Amino acid sequence: MSNQIDIRAYVEGALQARRFAVLATERDGQPHSSLIAITPICGARQLIFATYRSTRKYRNLTQNGKVAVFIDDRDENRLALPGGFVLTALGHAQVVSAGENAAVRRAHLERHPDLESFLGALDCTLIRVTVDAYQVVGAIDDVRWWRLDEPAGD
């Protein structure tokens, strides 16, 4: 990847290709990670996932909305990274508002139709991660950043 536009295009492509990620949360100094089904919206600026309100991840998010979302875009058959990169989205999570819930739910269900009964559960809620930056790692000495508040460059 030679510049910011390449990083942006790569991130957006990886988000379209990968349906699952690992969410990292924290509460009272204790880290926690969870596998989540993601739906990117607004390009790469927001990630949507669903969770039950009774989970540790939900309790963590309501106390501390800072999160990291890890997306593995490597070729599963390789030990090194030449077949892809790993991404970490850093941002803030919050419950999707009631006014936006139907449209966001539709988008998430379109991408993950197998989650229909999960999304219909009374205890289930949708969460929006507003991404501040992506860290893109291709190798130990190949780490790039895309900060979404900065222009893409040329």
Residue ranges per structural domain of the chain = 4-147
**Of 76 and 47, which is predicted with more confidence?**
47
- Asked if 88 and 69 count as a contact pair (C-beta separation under 8 A), the reply is yes
> In terms of pTM, does the model score above 0.85?
yes
What are 9-35's pLDDT values in tens digits?
889 999 999 999 999 999 999 999 999
Q: Where are the beta strands (DSSP E) in the chain?
A: 20-27, 30-37, 39-41, 46-52, 66-72, 86-95, 124-139, 142-147
Q: Out of 3.50.50.60, 1.20.200.10, 2.30.110.10, 2.10.109.10, select the CATH number for domain 4-147.
A: 2.30.110.10
